[in-house]
Structure 1
Amino acid sequence: MAKKPSIPKGTRDFTPSEVAKRNYIFDIVKKHFKAFGFQPIETPSFENSDTLMGKYGDEGDRLIFKILNSGDFISKVDDVTYSSKDSSSLTPKISEKALRYDLTVPFARYVVMHQNELDFPFKRYQIQPVWRADRPQKGRFREFYQCDADVVGSDSLLQEVEFVQLYDAVFTELGLEGATIKLNNRKILAGIAEVIGAKHFLIDFTVALDKLDKIGKDGVKKEMLAKGISEVSIEKAAPLFNLTGSNADQLDILGTFLKDSEVGSKGTEELRFIIETISTLGLQSAKLGIDVTLARGLNYYTGAIFEVAAPENVKMGSIGGGGRYDDLTGIFGLNGVSGMGISFGLDRIYLVLEELGLFPKEIDRSLDVLCFNFGNKEALAALKLTTVLRKLGLKADLYPADAKIQKQFKYANNREVPYVILLGAEELANKSFVVKNMASGEQQTYALDAAQEFADSL
């Protein structure tokens, strides 16, 4: 007996219904990307390893899928490297390419390579799959789509304001009212590290802090201590991790705490501008709140950072995130180009919409009408009618064989087809067709040349 096939952990097959629901999300996100002036691009699924490695921190590097070189790659490894069994020295010799970890670093590479063709500020959106060698769990996959929007070539904080509005517009149309857009600034984190005497541990500080919701305060403290951050420094920062009150109140507390830090004060000013501008403009349904524990442990963020939480009645990780990266293109030789971008977590958004029952009921409808097959002559007439209905904008199909009528009805029921067309010998002789409403059982007869009348009735 042949072995039952399987797929790698962290990957999925998608049914027609699931694809329809995913496309529903894609369409809404694309609609608003376009409304905000973003242009689409695409990049390869894999990049040269040196494009990706070193851009996401040590933890990110470990999650990058490496692609083995083609041919007899082992024969090209010298005996010393091979016998050392050291993956860090062996990997560069057997793998020169890797699957993309996200869409932002490839986008930075794209900007550098095409800089003479672009008009700055350049606003792009990109919806493509990415891969991470992460531990699969609910809402976390090894292969998943990202929906990104970025703008490069502008350091204006109005870009941050627009991204808040973009999040709000998309989640409002999706029906996710009450989604919370959490906001912080890497300059504030740098200022905190400076004030508490842990300036040289900024990366370790932010990586540990970013895990607060996963491992709790004790876990974060333990990790910080293990990285060399003193207990005194951790205790100094502790009060900030329990901030309460309005956004204005929290900004005042931050301003006082960071008054002796130039970079921290700058971050507070930037945060205040975004919060106050959004307060003036208003939001449709999303909430905007400060979260100084938000770190998003990616090294390339330099300013504002975002993370979106699903409505409170759903237990789910972040459904979106992003931030300001003032010199990301500098890693590829193009300095001084400021950038800002956000991402929508498609797979998690899907799970949230599914749990809350927010997908439109008709989304699974792949056919509006099915013509039954009563034989060769009748089928030819039904196919002509089907062709006309398709041109009128209906999703129409003809059952391919003159099977028993019960089998054709069963097929229509399984496909949840709302209307079936009966065009048998009698109808063919009368130049008519009968439409049966599958929900009510009612039937109506139309002239064979009155397809438009039927279409208009739906």
Structure 2
Amino acid sequence: MEKPSLPKGTRDFGPAVMAKRQYILGIIRSVFQNFGFQPLETPAMENLSTLTGKYGDEGDQLLFKILNSGDFLKDIPESKLTARNSKLLTADISQKGLRYDLTVPFARYVVMNRNDITFPFKRYQIQPVWRGDNPQKGRYREFYQCDADVVGTNSLICEAEIILMIKEVFKGLGINDYTIKINHRGVLSGIAESIGAKENETALFVAIDKLDKIGEEKVKEELRAKNFVETSLTMLFELLNTKGSTSQKLAALSSKFENTANGKKGLQDLQQVLELLSDYNSNDNQVEFDIALARGLSYYTGCIFEVKINNVAIGSVSGGGRYDNLTQAFGDKENLSGVGFSFGVDRLYDAMEELKIFPKDAQVSSKVLICHFDEPSMRYGLGILTKLRANGIASEIYPDGSKLKKQLDFANKKDIPFTIVIGSEEIKSGLLPCKDMAKGEQEKLTIEQIIAKLK
């Protein structure tokens, strides 16, 4: 019989891994809620008409499409079948696809439910997404995103609070060495205008987005193939390689953006976000103005973010930006501006494993294991178990009549920090030996004293 296997780019998560993932998600969720965001879920699959055209050509190629139910080839003309061209068939055999991100489904939700929504609308969403990427370390075909978005306001307070939330999450996770890169699509448009490439912005942004992955020469090659001339490329990299602090870079570009309204607006927005952070009494030590930051998704129109943990072999763990036209893509007459960002929990997990910073108690499932010598002590233990659980102490009882050593080994293997061993003497006295498995220390206490100690 053939051994079972998983689709490429997907993974199982055992209990030990899930405990750590839940630890990450718990901190992210609490920060989102602390900043006033409400939970939302959308279906795993959306209509392809909802998804296509929102992520650029490269994104559309990575969409997972779902075959129609039933005999989906029954009514396909012979000419399409013999042409052996999948693009000709797609519209006839597939009307649905797995969601690529959480932002487009969110925009679709807003348009469908706008009469019931109070704006500005702040929502968070923690669900898996699917992309037909080439799997590699830190990049999977199925992965979780943790999104927070605000829609229905142009206020740059939202951008400032995104930076604050990123900082708060990293503080909770114990990650101290990281960089929040920030840029603005207006700055990129200003660069495009300055080098005479206003009509070819999309190709320029897509190429710039690959700069840290493929390097300057490869980006130049890609742009030459898109008919960019050498003088434009020289000017481009003079601008992208502007050195100095964030304030110095802003000042340097300001002098070069005198004839571009988009460029000026981008610099003004970035300056205001930094000033707002100062008003929040938040330092901007970890915030870096990265002129080459482009982010590949084509729906961004304002500030864009990307976050990297320093000194780990993993790409960005968070990113996002402002989008002004997304709801219009669904026929929305009133243009609703939105801004949001996402944490990639899979990459956060990998980074924290590499840094070895998961706390020990992140893996604990039960706090107490009740062990027993015989049938009567096991039955007595069930009442003790009920009292522990009623007081919010995660507990379990060893279900079989095994030797005590086997029961204690079970507690060690599961990292259960405390055990209570019950025999006939304990039933008579009501004093239960509560053992700290890590320290090896044990004391006899009543169940009320044990509850008080463990709570």
Q: TM-score range by the shorter chain?
A: over 0.9
Q: Distance in 2 between matches of 1:382 and 1:398?
A: 7
SS of the equivalent of 1:126 reads strand
The CA deviation string for residues 9-51 of structure 1, in whole angstroms up to 9 with x for no partner, is: 1111111111111111111111111111111111000000000
1:192 partnered with 2:184:
no
1:412 Cα deviation (Å)?
A: 1.7
Give the match for residue 337 of structure 1.
Answer: 336
Q: Percent identity?
A: 49
Q: Deviations over 1:336-389 (max 9, x none)?
A: 111111111111111111221221111111122111132221111011111111
For residue 284 of structure 1, report the CA deviation from its aligned partner. Answer: 6.1
How many residues are matched? 453
Residue in 2 that maps onto 1:318:
316
1:442 and 1:224 map into 2 onto residues whose CA distance is 68
Deviation at 1:411, TM superposition (A): 1.2
Gaps of 5+ in 1: none
In 2, the alpha carbon distance for the partners of 1:320 and 1:287 equals 14
**What corresponds to 1:241 in structure 2?**
240
Give the distance between the partners of 1:4 and 1:30, measured in 2 at CA: 38
Instruction: Determine if contact 1:102/1:146 at 8 Å carries over to the other structure.
Output: yes
Could you tell me whether the CA contact under 8 Å between 2:203 and 2:226 is conserved in 1?
A: yes
Are the counterparts in 2 of residues 389 and 396 from structure 1 also a CA contact under 8 Å?
Answer: yes
Match of 1:409 in 2: 408
Tell me, yes or no, if structure 1 residue 452 matches structure 2 residue 452: no
**Structure 2 stretches lacking a partner, 5+ long:** none
Aligned positions of 1:30-429 closer than 5 A: 30-283=29-282, 287-310=286-309, 312-334=310-332, 335-429=334-428
Deviates more, 1:114-123 or 1:241-250: 241-250
Alpha-carbon shift at residue 240 of structure 1 (Å): 1.5
3-state SS, counterpart of residue 75 of structure 1: coil
Distance apart, 1:92 and its partner CA: 0.9
Residue 302 (structure 1) shift: 0.6
Deviations 1:60-97 (A, max 9, x none): 00000000111111122111111112222111111100
Tell me which amino acid in the other structure corresponds to 2:331. Answer: G
Matched residues in 2 for 1:405 and 1:169: separation?
Answer: 45
The one-letter code matched in structure 2 to 1:102 is D
Give the Å deviation of 1:239.
0.9
Contact 1:146/1:343, CA 8 A, preserved across alignment: yes
CA-CA distance at 1:6 after TM superposition = 0.8
Query: For residues 204-247 of structure 1, what are the alpha-carbon distances to aligned partners after superposition, in whole Å with 9 as ceiling and x for unaligned?
Result: 00000000011000111111111222222111111122121111
Say if 1:168 and 1:286, in contact at 8 Å, map to a contact too.
Answer: no
- The 1-side partners of 2:444 and 2:276 are apart by 60
Which SS does the other structure have where 2:372 is aligned? Answer: coil
Q: TM-score, normalised by structure 1?
A: 0.96
| Distance of 1:285 and 1:403 partners within structure 2 | 59
- Between the aligned partners of 2:260 and 2:415, the Cα distance in structure 1 is 63
1:22-33 alignment, distance < 5 Å: 22-33=21-32
Contact 1:128/1:145 (8 A) holds in 2: yes
Letter in 1 for 2:432: F
Question: Does structure 1 residue 442 correspond to structure 2 residue 441?
Answer: yes
Q: Residue by residue, what CA displacement relative to the aligned partner does 1:390-443 show, whole Å, maximum 9, x if unpaired?
A: 112212111111112222122122112222222112322344432233234333
Instruction: Measure the CA separation in 2 of the matches of 1:344 and 1:406.
Output: 43
Greater mean deviation of Cα atoms: 208-217 or 188-197: 188-197
How far, CA to CA, are the matches of 2:283 and 2:453 in structure 1? 35
Q: Which sits farther off after the overlay, 68-77 or 106-115?
A: 68-77
Letter in 1 for 2:330: F
Asked if 1 retains the 8 angstrom alpha-carbon contact of 2:191 and 2:239, the reply is no
Paired residue type of 1:125: Y
Query: Residues of 2 paired with 1:113 and 1:57: CA distance?
Result: 23
- What letter matches 1:74 in structure 2? L
Cα deviation 1:266-321 (Å, max 9, x = unaligned): 111111211233244343686111111111011110111111111x2222211110
Contact 2:319 2:342 in 1 (8 A): yes
99-108 vs 401-410, which moves further: 401-410
Is the CA contact (8 Å cut-off) linking 2:277 and 2:284 kept in structure 1? no
Equivalent position SS for 1:73: coil
Separation of aligned partners in 2, 1:253 and 1:280: 25
Matched to 1:366, the amino acid is S
Letter in 2 for 1:368: K
Further displaced range: 101-110 or 283-292: 283-292
| SS in structure 1 at match of 2:73 | helix
1:71–1:128 CA distance, 2 compared to 1 (3 A): same
| Aligned partner letter, 1:113 | M
- AA aligned to 2:163 is V
Distance in 2, Cα, partners of 1:314 & 1:284: 24
**Quick one: which amino acid aligns to residue 326 of structure 1?**
D
Amino acid at match of 1:148: D
- Aligned pair in 2 of structure 1 residues 185, 437: CA closer, same or farther (>3 Å)? closer
1-structure distance, mates of 2:275, 2:408: 60
